[in-house]
A and B are shown apart, each in its own frame.
Chain A
Amino acid sequence: MLKDFLVLAGQSIMHRRMRSWLTVIGVFIGITAVVALISIGLGLERTITDQVASVFGVDAFIIMNEDTFGPQAHRPGGAEEYALDLSTLRAVEGVKVAAAVRERTGFVQGPPRSDGTPLQGFFPVSGLSPELITEFESFIGELEVQKGGRLFEVGEEAVTVLGSEIAKRFQASVGETVLVVGEGSAELSLTVVGILVPVEEDEESRGGFAAGMNQSQNQDTIYVPYETMDLLWGPAKDVLITVVRVNPGEDVDKVADRAEETLNARGSEISAVTYTDISEVIGTMTSTISAFLAGIAGISLLVGGVGVMNTMFTSVLERTKEIGVMKAVGAKNSHVLTIFLIESGLMGLVGGIVGTLLGLGLSAAASLFIGRFFGVKMAVVANPTLILSTLVCSFGIGAIAGLWPAWRAAKLPVVDALRYE
């Protein structure tokens, strides 16, 4: 019987084609906006988490100051230094490799220049674990040395790699030595083993993920092996970031928790951040934003619903006699109610289908646009849950909007309805 009512309702909609379409337009504009915004939000989230994943890999986590990342973060995204005992971290069960970056400003004296005097002054000195270069290239970006030089290797101590800017100012070349003065009376003569390739302006965005390591600074920095920093400045209290890769098959979240516990028990104040943590934060952020935008778009959906209601009232009024006839030939009130509800629900549903298609199209177009103008390959997300719930929801909006008119139609006294001209 429901199928027959569906046909009856459909025929009535098709009979008033123009008005039905106008009503449907009212619905699908709202649906389009909601679907497009949510899809774009989901696409954005997917894109960001994909990028995070490509940098991280799923088997790695980073260690940051506990103020920098996490629910109590005071300065989200900013770099704060922290104390770290790398050997303790390496001993944590499940850790395969750990590499860290620490940075200080130190007094540096270059080799003699062409006029015979060396340049000296305070410069940033950055200690990199060699494993960072060999194991975590994606984190620090590609460190490329000029021809004739090399990066340092595990176990080396008295070596340095200079940024291209500082090498130019020191007039230093591979093989010469620079003197770095640390805390107290500690000082070391370091052999220059490599000089970084200067970065082209338009390549700036190629930089690494790690905090505080943006490219413009890189070329002003004197890079030394991480362990060398210990010799100059003692145990690390100035670590910017630590990257850890876990053994194959280990649960990265569990290892991260273990590492966090162990280190914090020894006086560090750090957070171990995994891919899942970052994804969650990004997810919360993007879904808050898209929920807000979709809420605004939802207003137009409400307007669409009122449009359906209006159309249904008109329809009930002009079909008063028809309702009377249906009742006279044996229709129950519930039959009339159902027919009208299906009719308004159908208009909502058609609006939902058109709106979903348009919304997905719009989000695809947006990703194309973003891809072209911002150079990011944005994912297009056609979330089945979103599509299904949109369709159910749009039928619901139609039906709810039709509830009152349909109820009025069902309650019409049959004699009055038959008399209606």
Chain B
Amino acid sequence: MPLLEFKGITKDYKLGKTVVRALRGLDLTIKEGEVIAIMGPSGSGKSTLMHIVGALDTPTGGTAFLDGQDLQQLKERQLVTLRGKKVGFVFQTFNLIQTLSAQRNVELPMIFQGIRKGERARHARELLTKVGLADRVKHKPNELSGGERQRVAIARALANDPEIILADEPTGNLDTESGTPVLEMLKKLSVEDGKTVIIVTHDPDAAAIADRIVRLRDGCVVAGSGYEGEGTSGVPSAGRDVEGSSLEPSTLGITTEGSDSHA
């Protein structure tokens, strides 16, 4: 059973008097442990899809199952629990809380789950060590470099040990030098910890670490809507967006390596 199964998802927004149809019958299945890159021009519905996957928003129509739960049947409270426990967010602009130290930022999701102080602090330091910031725990976000901030954000996303990491343009505000470790880290989460990583990106480097690229256009998936072996489509390489094309996997070794992990 796939971790995530979306069928015919639609999402309409009201913007004043006009209705914006952000998603128009989107199909997508993702299985556990995959690294997915969601690509597409702006306005194609990437962010909307991301919000729905992250339980920040609910679809207008279609069926959406996340880990066996029907998102449309969930009440607000249950959605909160879902995004608190099952999903970790990484944002383009880091979105760390400026008044809190790196450690406290990582502790924040645990606070809302009612985890006790000592346990929280220990786990937060552990996670910061994991992302290579053991010596930065007491620093405030404005004392950290962009790459470091994004790594704090990754640590925060991991705080409640979620199954899915949602990264929205994680390298969008970073140069290649600081972006690469961030991408490596995300890849590692899939390979070593079996997390499902979904990256919304324009960045070909980010797409390159993905097991599969899902291409969106005008609110529909035009390529990569299903995982390998499920029979819907293969793994298209970066730069192509033809639906159903079954091209060779990416030439990057890292992708092949990632594919092995769930083969």
Chain A residues packing against B (C-beta within 8 Å): 1, 4-5, 8, 11-12, 14-15, 321-322, 324-333, 335, 414-415, 418
Interfacial residues of chain B within 82-103, with CB under 8 A of chain A in the complex: 83-85, 88-89, 91, 95, 97-100
Bound complex: CA of A11 vs CA of B108, how far in Å?
13
Chain B residues packing against A (C-beta within 8 Å): 51, 54, 56-57, 76-77, 80-81, 83-85, 88-89, 91, 95, 97-100, 108-109, 111-114, 117, 156, 159-160
CB-nearest residue of chain A to B77: A332
Contact of B56 among A8, A333, A335, A415 (CB under 8 A): A415
Across-interface contacts of A326 in B (CB, < 8 A): 97, 108, 112
CB-nearest residue of chain A to B97: A322
Seed contacts A15-B98, A321-B95, A327-B56; 16 additional CB < 8 Å A-B pairs: A1-B111, A8-B111, A11-B99, A15-B99, A322-B97, A325-B95, A325-B97, A329-B89, A329-B112, A330-B81, A330-B84, A330-B160, A332-B80, A415-B51, A415-B56, A415-B57
- Most B Cβ at <10 Å: residue of A11, A325, A415: A325
Across-interface contacts of A333 in B (CB, < 8 A): 76, 80
Across-interface contacts of A332 in B (CB, < 8 A): 77, 80, 112
CB-nearest residue of chain B to A322: B97
Across-interface contacts of A327 in B (CB, < 8 A): 56, 80
Bound complex: CA of A333 vs CA of B77, how far in Å?
9
- Shortest 3 CB-CB contacts between residues of A and residues of B: A330-B84, A329-B109, A15-B99
Known: A1-B114, A414-B56. A330 touches B99 (CB 8 A): no
Bound complex: CA of A12 vs CA of B112, how far in Å?
17
Q: Nearest-CB distance from A138 to chain B (Å)?
A: 65
Contact of A330 among B83, B95, B100, B117 (CB under 8 A): B83
Contact of A418 among B56, B80, B97, B108 (CB under 8 A): B56
Bound complex: CA of A15 vs CA of B104, how far in Å?
15
Bound complex: CA of A5 vs CA of B111, how far in Å?
9
Across-interface contacts of A414 in B (CB, < 8 A): 56-57
Across-interface contacts of A321 in B (CB, < 8 A): 95
Known: A11-B100, A414-B56, A415-B51. A328 touches B112 (CB 8 A): no
Q: Nearest-CB distance from A187 to chain B (Å)?
A: 97
Bound complex: CA of A330 vs CA of B77, how far in Å?
10
CB-nearest residue of chain B to A335: B112
* Pairs A–B under 8 Å by Cβ, sample size 15: A1-B111, A1-B114, A8-B100, A14-B99, A321-B95, A326-B97, A327-B80, A328-B89, A329-B88, A329-B159, A331-B80, A332-B80, A333-B76, A414-B56, A418-B56
Across-interface contacts of B51 in A (CB, < 8 A): 415
CB-nearest residue of chain B to A330: B84
Bound complex: CA of A61 vs CA of B125, how far in Å?
76
- Most B Cβ at <10 Å: residue of A328, A333, A415: A328
Contact call B111/A328, Cβ cutoff below 8 A = no
Across-interface contacts of A324 in B (CB, < 8 A): 95
Contact call B112/A331, Cβ cutoff below 8 A = yes
Q: Nearest-CB distance from B247 to chain A (Å)?
A: 34
Contact call B83/A12, Cβ cutoff below 8 A = no
CB-nearest residue of chain A to B159: A329
Bound complex: CA of A11 vs CA of B57, how far in Å?
30
Contact of B83 among A5, A8, A11, A328 (CB under 8 A): A328
Q: Nearest-CB distance from B82 to chain A (Å)?
A: 9
CB-nearest residue of chain A to B113: A330
Contact call B56/A330, Cβ cutoff below 8 A = no
Bound complex: CA of A333 vs CA of B83, how far in Å?
13
Bound complex: CA of A14 vs CA of B97, how far in Å?
14
CB-nearest residue of chain B to A414: B56
Across-interface contacts of B56 in A (CB, < 8 A): 327-328, 414-415, 418
Q: Nearest-CB distance from B141 to chain A (Å)?
A: 12
Q: Nearest-CB distance from B238 to chain A (Å)?
A: 27
Bound complex: CA of A330 vs CA of B79, how far in Å?
9
Bound complex: CA of A419 vs CA of B109, how far in Å?
20
CB-nearest residue of chain B to A5: B111
Q: Nearest-CB distance from A421 to chain B (Å)?
A: 9
Bound complex: CA of A308 vs CA of B85, how far in Å?
35
CB-nearest residue of chain B to A421: B93
Q: Nearest-CB distance from B84 to chain A (Å)?
A: 2
Known: A1-B111, A414-B56, A415-B51. A330 touches B98 (CB 8 A): no
Across-interface contacts of A325 in B (CB, < 8 A): 91, 95, 97
Bound complex: CA of A4 vs CA of B84, how far in Å?
17
Bound complex: CA of A329 vs CA of B85, how far in Å?
9
- Most B Cβ at <10 Å: residue of A11, A12, A330, A414: A330
Bound complex: CA of A398 vs CA of B26, how far in Å?
48
Across-interface contacts of A5 in B (CB, < 8 A): 111
Bound complex: CA of A333 vs CA of B81, how far in Å?
12
Q: Nearest-CB distance from A90 to chain B (Å)?
A: 76
Across-interface contacts of A415 in B (CB, < 8 A): 51, 56-57
Contact of A329 among B57, B98, B117, B156 (CB under 8 A): B156
Across-interface contacts of B85 in A (CB, < 8 A): 330
Across-interface contacts of B88 in A (CB, < 8 A): 329
Bound complex: CA of A335 vs CA of B111, how far in Å?
10
Contact call A330/B109, Cβ cutoff below 8 A = yes
Q: Nearest-CB distance from B88 to chain A (Å)?
A: 8
- Most A Cβ at <10 Å: residue of B97, B100, B109: B97
Bound complex: CA of A5 vs CA of B112, how far in Å?
9
Contact call B80/A330, Cβ cutoff below 8 A = yes
